[in-house]
Structure 1
Amino acid sequence: MGDHRHITIVTDFYHLESVASGAVFNVTAAVSFLLVAIFSLMAIKKTEYKKVLGVWLTIIGAVPLIALFSSKMWISSLGGFPAIGAGQGVIKYFALLSVGLLILLPHLDKTIQKFIAAFPVILVLLWIGGMKFTELEAKGIESLVNTSPLMSWMYKIWDVQTTSDLIGVYDLIAMALVIAAIFKRQFLLPAVLMSGAVFVVTQTFLFTAEGAFSAETILSTTGHFLIKDLWFIANLVCLWKLSEAES
């Protein structure tokens, strides 16, 4: 698993650092995700495992999210909440929590289910998209954008901050379409295409960004952060399926 700051902050929040070492928690996290994979495969064959999968996803999602109450998740130099620091990786766990709840609560009103499916996508596009308008985030993504054949051209036209602002505008438009898609199916396709493109492009950074892979752990901390965006694609698939069921 390597050294992941957000895991350390989560364990500190629950005052578990005195019980076991960071290595123990890294292994625990790794085993937890392996169990998700196992339960997912088992649920394909036998539907009775779907509930187990739903419970496990809900737990794995909720535990780190509760730790967002820790002040260490926020950038104090920017006034704390909502200026997110280590919490950028943690808010992605809303995606797992969403899928878990959808599995456990299949009889909810379809509009509520669609909101649960869409909420993590809306949240991350609003939050991280909004952060793009700050100098800190603009400089923070520069090294990633610079390596991308899909996005590096932007720096040849605009400066670092303007490029980041434009990415932020794109994120917010995609977010607005996702919200609209909850209520109007005609917005579903553009919403999924625009927001899905955000998460697909993120995956290309795995192969272009320096240090995304680690010889010791396959994926580095950066790699883990990037690959978590696949969770949001699962949310979009859920939103699509729920919308299809209504038609």
Structure 2
Amino acid sequence: MPTMLVLGATSGIAQAAARLFANSGWTLQLAGRDSQRLREVADACGGAPVFPFDALDPASRSALWGLLPSCPDAVLCAVGLLGDQDCACRSPKEALRVMECNFTGLVPVLLQAAEAFEARGAGLIIGLSSVAGDRGRASNYAYGSAKAGFTAFLSGLRARLWGSGVHVLTVKPGYVATGMIAGRRLPSCIVASPERVARDIFRAVHSGQDVLYTPGWWRPLLALYRALPECVAKRLKL
């Protein structure tokens, strides 16, 4: 049975994806900051080993790969932090925290995975980015710029590993009914369930897709938004 390492395994999308892959015959390795919640997720998936991982802790980032009992066949990176945009506008520390958790703190372990998979000639890396990274917006440019960087990193990694037997899938969800948007008043028609996103990821893996917008209607919507001239986009205050 193939093995999948799930980073940020306690997030809503990660939990839904972990259950789906486990029910489809995958063995799981779960990593995250909250050990109690990790064990609860592991129990819900039929049992799985759990490992500490904190994208904001350099020691944790460097230690994780060596803790694994075996090299996984796939890595699903679902780590994410929305952060406080108002605070990030004024605090370099908060802005850097958001960027480290969503991008730079994930690079070490994904590079380790890429090296191991490339040497083996097979593997799968799934990175959860966001539609927020497609263009900077006044309301969340700290988070959005971090996701833009992560998207570019995954794209470059995919190009580097092309032909090696290693596939890199970039996932760009829109609004998802998880703790990240708790308390926000959003139209229900634009909020997807974690289970919907997990099913889309599962299908994208088996179809060999490179970039997944989920739900799919985000792709044309974001294409239109990216096409707007900057002089127009900056006035929208989205």
Same fold at TM > 0.5: no
More helix by share: 1
Normalising by the residue count of structure 1, what TM-score does the alignment of the two structures yield? 0.30
| Bigger Cα Rg | 1
Normalising by the residue count of structure 2, what TM-score does the alignment of the two structures yield? 0.31
